[in-house]
Structure 1
């Protein structure tokens, strides 16, 4: 299967992608990561870490869907180019995605950029329009992962409420605002499954979004 990690720019998507991929690998999934962002930040992270323990390939193009054959018994996890600047990349990845995850901080600024952007297409519209290019004419399931969540503030609960009222699926697991995650992209990753990203993998399994050996 293929997971498309999407968001406007600077929302922690690349960090989440790398940590999710490591957590999936650590619990026994066959993982292949894709850098489909023209910034190549995920690739730079892998190089700085001396290589990830799973393959990482690059394809930040509008032909992603025709170039890539998803793994039959594993998970392709894709760091998709920013929807604000490179919607053509998101359009292509979403043609073959089995799951789309929006990454965002629980702030009103990010809520507006995701749902009501002034100068770009809303994320939900980008995902919805992919249905027309898919064989079953159905868009992939769309979920929101809240990240950079600060403790002791109401922002996460408030934004979660706004999202749910608007009909979005929101993961129960939230990624906290920790320095270890902020600085992760310069170092190798260990024990990613022993923390919130491992909890996220468990939640995705519980909800039937992923499972071992799934084609």
Structure 2
């Protein structure tokens, strides 16, 4: 099972990837993360925090040909390089992804960069065209995860509505804006499955997007 975490620009994707990896690990899954971002921020975090699972690096257009997945009984999660700057990396990962999760803040700026960018290809278009390079000739399922969500603001509902109207699937679980999450990338992670990322694992299971461990 390979999950592609994707976003046009810096939208909390790397932090979400690391936290998701720990939540799946704590839930009993075999986990392997892939750093497909040229910044190598996920790799840096894993080295500082001594992640309890492997983190491999491959930020190239050869990802689909070179990666070695865990297989059916494992969860591979890819921190994909920004689609605005590195579409060749995203295109390669999308050839082999089983699930695509778009990570974005519920803001108009992020919505525009995802859905109607001025100078790059929309994420939905990239995912859709990947079907031509996949053995099944079908694109992987795509869902949106809202992160950095502030409490008691209208923007979350408004952006959810815009995404739904534009035929995006939006996960019910949201990642709140918390210092413990925002500052996580320099430190070890504990009890990830007890918070919103554990709830995310549960929702993905309930929707049939990932198998139970």
SS at structure 2 position matched to 1:172? strand
Alpha-carbon distance, 1:46 to partner = 0.8
SS at structure 1 position matched to 2:47? helix
- TM-score normalized with structure 2 length: 0.98
In structure 1, how many angstroms separate the alpha carbons of the residues matched to 2:170 and 2:193? 20
> 1:146-178 deviations in whole A, cap 9, x for unaligned?
000000101111000100111100000000010
Aligned residues: 212
The corresponding residue for 1:166 is: 166
The runs of 5 or more residues in structure 2 that have no matched partner are none
The corresponding residue for 2:65 is: 66
Runs of 4+, deviation exceeding 2 Å: none
SS at structure 2 position matched to 1:193? helix
SS at structure 2 position matched to 1:208? coil
In structure 2, how many angstroms separate the alpha carbons of the residues matched to 1:211 and 1:136? 20
Alpha-carbon distance, 1:68 to partner = 1.2
SS at structure 2 position matched to 1:147? strand
Alignment of 1:58-207 (within 5 A): 58-72=57-71, 73-207=73-207
SS at structure 1 position matched to 2:132? helix
What is the Cα-based RMSD across aligned positions, in Å? 0.7
The runs of 5 or more residues in structure 1 that have no matched partner are none
Alpha-carbon distance, 1:212 to partner = 3.2
SS at structure 2 position matched to 1:175? strand
In structure 2, how many angstroms separate the alpha carbons of the residues matched to 1:174 and 1:68? 30
C-alpha contact 1:31 1:55 (8 A) present in aligned 2: yes
Alpha-carbon distance, 1:192 to partner = 0.3
Alpha-carbon distance, 1:70 to partner = 2.1
SS at structure 1 position matched to 2:34? strand
The corresponding residue for 1:34 is: 34
Alpha-carbon distance, 1:9 to partner = 1.5
> 1:74-100 deviations in whole A, cap 9, x for unaligned?
010000000000000000000000000
In structure 1, how many angstroms separate the alpha carbons of the residues matched to 2:22 and 2:181? 13
